[in-house]
Amino acid sequence: MTTGRMNALAWTAELLGLLVVILGVLSVLPDRFLAAGLLLMVVGILAKLRANKMGQQG
């Protein structure tokens, strides 16, 4: 997987997680979706860190 594709997936996961968290805070979605949104944001951040590490090596 290329660095650019990983960055794109990371941004998508992070923004989708943020949207789910906001909808959960506004009580549009049930509370259990807050945890899922936070998990998506964490996965996005970790993917961005990995993509940056891959970009520095190559």
Q: What is the pTM of this model?
A: 0.81
Placement of tokens 């993509």 in the chain: 51
Q: What are 4-35's pLDDT values in tens digits? A: 898 999 999 999 999 999 999 998 989 888 99
Placement of tokens 């049930």 in the chain: 30
Please state, in angstroms and rounded to a whole number, the distance separating the CA atoms of residues 31 and 41.
Answer: 16
Tokens of 22: 């906001």
On whether the CB atoms of residues 19 and 41 are closer than 8 A, the answer is no
Q: How many helices (H) and strands (E) does the chain have?
A: 2, 0
Q: What is the mean pLDDT of residues 35-47?
A: 92
Tokens of 17: 């997680």
User: Hey, what amino acid is at 3?
Assistant: T
